[in-house]
Amino acid sequence: MIVYALHCACGHDFDQWFDNMADYDAKKDSGIPCPSCGGTEVAKAIMAPRVGKSQPAPAPAPACGPGGCGGGGYPMMM
């Protein structure tokens, strides 16, 4: 198993597990949905892949509306 940090077009970062690099390539071709907005325009973030066992839970990405995130701001900002 291998985990990649992925970055979607809306700016969400999330981690996704794959069996191996070929599995990532196959899933990328069919589209890897962002868990926050469902967009499939995701790219590997610049990060060394972690291989192995468990990992600490990633910080939850801020959810955006059903229309996607257009503002680029953070929800906690008033």
Binding site for Zn ion (CB under 5 A): 8, 10, 12, 34, 36-37, 39
CB of 8 to Zn ion, least distance (A): 4
Cβ proximity to Zn ion: between 2 and 61 the closer is 61
CB of 6 to Zn ion, least distance (A): 9
Concatenating the DSSP letter of every residue in 19-72 gives SSHHHHHHHHHH----TTT----EEE-SSPPEESS--PPPPPPPP--TT---S-
Is residue 48 within 8 Å of residue 2, measured between CB atoms? no
Cβ proximity to Zn ion: between 1 and 63 the closer is 63
Cβ proximity to Zn ion: between 8 and 32 the closer is 8
